[in-house]
Amino acid sequence: MVIDDQARRSCLTLISQVSGADLLTIEGLTKEGHLHPLQQAFIDHGAFQCGYCTSGMLMDAYEAHLTR
């Protein structure tokens, strides 16, 4: 997940740590039924791992995209 424009591990983040923060999960990347370009690129290039790993990699890539 991305918290205040910074990628974080959801499995190590307590809900109390995100109170009032801007929180984005992989589900939030999809807008109006359209995949985010990063999601589509992962599909197009066969970059799927497990359900946990792929989500983390996508959100980390999204955070890196924000800092450009």
Instruction: Report CA torsion sign: 40, 43, 10, 5.
Output: negative
pTM of the model: 0.79
Sequence spans of domains, the chain: 2-66
Mean pLDDT of the chain: 89
**pLDDT tens across 47-65, in order?**
877 777 888 899 999 998 8
10 vs 21, more confident: 21
- In sequence order, the β-bridge partners of residue 3 are 6, 23
